[in-house]
Amino acid sequence: MGGRGGWWRGKSTPAKVETYTRWSFHTFPFIEVATFALPAFGYVPAPVNWILFLLVSAHAAVAAVTASLTLDWTRGRRPLPVRLLWALGTATVVIAVVSLVVALHGPRGADNGAAAGTVFVGVLSFGVGTLALAVRGTRRMVYGVLGAAVGAGAVAVPAGVPAPGAAVAAGAVVLAAGFFTFTSAFSVWLLNAVYELDEARETRARLAVAEERLRFGRDLHDVMGRNLAVVALKSELAVQLARRGRPEAVEQMVEVQRIARETQREVREVVRGYREADLRTELAGAQGVLTAAGIDCEVSGPVTGLPVEIQSALGWVVREATTNVLRHGDAARCSVSLRVAKDRVTLTVENDGAPGIGSGTGTGTAEPGRGSGLAGLRERLREVDGVLRAGPAGSDLFRLTAEVPLPPDSVPEQAPAPESGGSPRPVPHPVSEVTS
């Protein structure tokens, strides 16, 4: 996955959109020069053709630098380049007027009028479109385009362009500048929208973790708070009885011991419910969450009838893999398949884009004493004699496979998994913060 393809696939979706947007604006200077400056060599004599070429090239270079720095401002990475924007606006007006005057009143060529019109309209259109990157509000953008068109007509007539020609030039500026302004505005809107959606996805993952922590804390509080209060009261009563030499103190301490053991049992049940993952629930939750994130998710295979400990281990695999597809990958498709043979069950999670599982070095919501990522999953599978394999499966696929042997007397029911075409309700579950 090295080279240019790996560099591209390693980017997140917002970073890809930003890279595409920037390179689109980097091509505009070449389009401006190729469309409005180079044709002058065909129908304008020297040295006017060279003057037009140098003027348009200088304007394109200033516009490219301005667009790059202004895009940084839209992402909040640098202040607005006010001086550069003023410089671009001034250069746009000056170069357009000079190009018009030179083409009209310089040495007569085959078609100086065509050269004047194309260069004049092109410089104004690209200049206004680039300046629109620093404008907020549709009304201001419309005013900028109309102002450029009115200014073009007002300058063309004194420069020697007939009134009909000046009107045509103004109309051409409206169309061309309007198109480039719309392109700039839409590009900025799309870039900001993609980043906001990515931040919303990160916030959703953090909220899922916080919700699970609150549930776990609430359950522990309900169990421990009540029982500890009873233990405290009975212990105090036993102390008072012991000081008086009453034999009932022993009975109270026996009751304290019973409550303590009962509390241990209840806490173990709470923690077990927190640690164990139901396979059907995890598959339904994974399909719902991935579908909501715009990833085509397909789930297939029987999910019922497996032993509880195997379901729990495979449920953790689904949970961790889904988390990492959302947080670390750039997948458009993810498939989860479960195959049950006579002696083993195999779970396969495959997605395109970047690798969908961490390296096992991060820390997440795994229980104490366990790691997260690949290391944590291997530890869980080892408890049921299972194995885990993960790695690239082709140029653009990442595959994670978990195999667990079945007990001899285990015969799973062949119940269908959630259909990929349905829309199951996402089931909240803890989202581990696994780092690649």
Q: What percent of the chain has pLDDT over 90?
A: 6
The confidence score (pLDDT) of residue 404 equals 92
pTM: 0.52
Is residue 418 reached through a cis peptide bond, with omega within 30 degrees of 0 on the bond before it? no
What is the C-alpha separation between 38 and 56, in angstroms, rounded?
9
Q: What percent of the chain has pLDDT over 70?
A: 79
pLDDT per position as a tens digit, 72-101:
898 888 899 999 999 999 988 888 888 777
End-to-end CA distance of the chain: 16
- Band of residue 301 on the pLDDT scale cut at 50, 70, 90: confident
The confidence score (pLDDT) of residue 348 equals 92
- Tell me the average pLDDT across 392-406: 85
For helices 48-74 and 112-131, the axis angle rounded to 10 degrees is 10
DSSP 133: G
Which of helix, strand or coil describes residue 102?
A: helix
With contact defined as beta carbons under 8 Å apart, do 312 and 276 qualify? yes
pLDDT per position as a tens digit, 351-390:
886 544 444 433 333 343 343 467 778 887 888 889 999 8
Does pLDDT of 297 surpass 60?
Answer: yes
With contact defined as beta carbons under 8 Å apart, do 289 and 429 qualify? no
Does pLDDT of 165 surpass 70?
Answer: yes
